[in-house]
Amino acid sequence: MTQPTVPGLFTTQPGGNVTPATFGFRSLPYTTIYVDPADQTGNASDGNPGTDPSAPIATTAHLNAVNFFGRLTANTLIQYLSDDASGTPVVVEYLDVGDFTLTIAQTRQVLHTGGTLNAGTVAINPAAKQAQIVHTSDLASFAPYVVTQNGGASTYGVRVTDTTTGAGAWIMSAATAAAPKTTRPLLNGSPGALTIGDGYTLTRGGRLRLALQGPPVFASGSIVIQDCAFDLDSGGPGGLNVDYIRCSYVGAIAVGGNLIDCFAQNDMVETFAGPIEMTSGGGLITTGGGVWTSSCELGGDLYVTGKGLRIGGDFLASPFFAVGGPGAGVQVQDCSADAIVFYESFSVALATGSSNPLLWGTGNTGVGLVVAAAQGVGVSSQVPPTVTGTGGDIAFIGPANTGLVQVARAAVNGQYTEAGGPATRATTWANFAAAIGSGGFNFQAHDVESGASLVGI
């Protein structure tokens, strides 16, 4: 059978053989295209060109065909108007982005239009270890809008948005059903506010799936993907020139990129391409099974809960930084285990481009920060961490995993205090920052037996 010729894509040779070397790109027939998989317009059809929002195309499969070996001629928008439940993934691997920006945007789905934000709504205050709390005039419980991993009934992450200020935050906890904790409210990546007396809505992203794929052909171009609720096995084009904005993940995050005000409820398994930067707010629920193979940055008061952060070992095999974004730092709240455990040596909460790289949080079961044997961890001496738990502030894992040690020795000019004697200084954050003469560590806490240390930098 003779292979047909597709103009601009490949050339058919005698005998029906396709010459791969003749593959080329063609200009896309649009700069804005609308896709309506649920046919909310009542006029979706793959026979439409899709450039009119009242006559969108119907399927992601057709979108992929239109895009195949296409070349952007300007900044380009793919606008989804409704959920795509088909499971067909969006493929952008065969696009020539050039020097332009490709934006893939979903339409947020309104789940509830509320009364007002009222008394009981409390603003975030990291210095006082106060998480953002939301309370409303009309809901007795937010449980239907909290994801199942955190004790609620929602499959997808849900945002509360102040309809006056436009600021939004992800609902994180159903521990107090009428007044849950949320992430830091943000407006276009900058700090915002949920203001008592304002109206509010509850929304989720539009459903979509991205193929696990290599990046498109880039020159100096970029990709922006926003307001998507990614289904379980969604992937994506990896790389730091890919921004994900207000997106939520049911499954583990499988590729790198800049996650701006995003929500992940099932760890990160970053094994494909590029580092992860989750540095402008958002929320992360951990299960203890995440594996990262590339570097990562966490910050912007990213809200972490679940089983806490496991840095090294079974969770992370690369550097960890808590820098960048509004408020910087990381809040670790209400974890069911030790909040942060370092199985490998890292520098944490470096004051890189930030004056407030705080690690903070409360309500954690276990200890706030744990350092494994033979590991050295550096934290900011400018703004020392305050994350804690019911088991205390700081601990070292003893030799041969014999248990947690919550006393240590200080060091002066490379010499341990209490030389030859037992360590007696309690490993609290107050002692960590206190002068040695006052019974503190002056930012130098060492467990001599295990070879572990926590130092200020």
Q: Over pLDDT 90: what percentage of the chain?
A: 59
210-219 mean pLDDT:
82
119-140 mean pLDDT:
94
Burial letters for 3-39: b for 16+ Cβ neighbours within 10 Å, e otherwise? eeeeeebbeeeeeeeeeeeeeebeebebeebbbbbbe
Check: CB of residue 111 under 8 Å from CB of residue 117: no
Nearby residues of 349 by Cβ (< 8 Å), 6 or more positions away: 322, 323, 329, 330, 357, 358, 359, 379, 380, 383, 385
**Res 391 pLDDT > 80:** yes
- The sign of the dihedral angle between the CA atoms of 416, 421, 425, 427 is positive
CA pair distance 326, 190, nearest whole angstrom: 6
Burial letters for 227-257: b for 16+ Cβ neighbours within 10 Å, e otherwise? bbbbbeebbbbbbebbbbbbbbbbbbbbbbb
**Res 405 pLDDT > 70:** yes
Beta-bridged to residue 412, according to DSSP, are: 415
Mean pLDDT, the chain, whole residue set: 85
- Helix or strand holding residue 64 (H, E): helix 60-67
**Comparing C-alpha atoms, which of 256, 253, 229 is closest to residue 241?**
256
Q: Residue 6: its pLDDT value, please?
A: 36
Q: Residue 349: its pLDDT value, please?
A: 46
pLDDT tens, position by position, 162-194: 999 999 999 998 667 889 999 999 998 888 999
Lowest-confidence segment of 7-21, 103-117, 226-240, 427-441 by average pLDDT? 7-21
Strand arrangement, sheet containing 367-371: 309-311, 340-342, 367-371, 392-397, 404-405
Domain positions in the chain are: 109-203, 247-456
Phi, psi of 67 (to 5 degrees): -80, -15
Check: CB of residue 429 under 8 Å from CB of residue 390: no
Q: Residue 291: its pLDDT value, please?
A: 61
CA pair distance 294, 316, nearest whole angstrom: 8
Q: Residue 127: its pLDDT value, please?
A: 86
**Res 85 pLDDT > 60:** yes
pLDDT tens, position by position, 9-51: 333 344 444 433 335 799 999 999 999 999 999 999 999 999 9
Check: CB of residue 180 under 8 Å from CB of residue 174: yes
CA pair distance 267, 302, nearest whole angstrom: 14
Q: Residue 287: its pLDDT value, please?
A: 83
- Residue with the two structure tokens 């880039």: 218
Which DSSP string do the residues of 237-290 spell out, in sequence order? E-STTEEEES-EESS-B-S-EEEES-EESS-BEE-SSS-EEEEES-EEEE-S--
3-class SS at 77? Answer: strand
Take residue 65 and report the two structure tokens written for it: 């065909």
**Comparing C-alpha atoms, which of 126, 121, 154 is closest to residue 136?**
121
Take residue 255 and report the two structure tokens written for it: 């590729």
- Residue with the two structure tokens 């991993």: 149
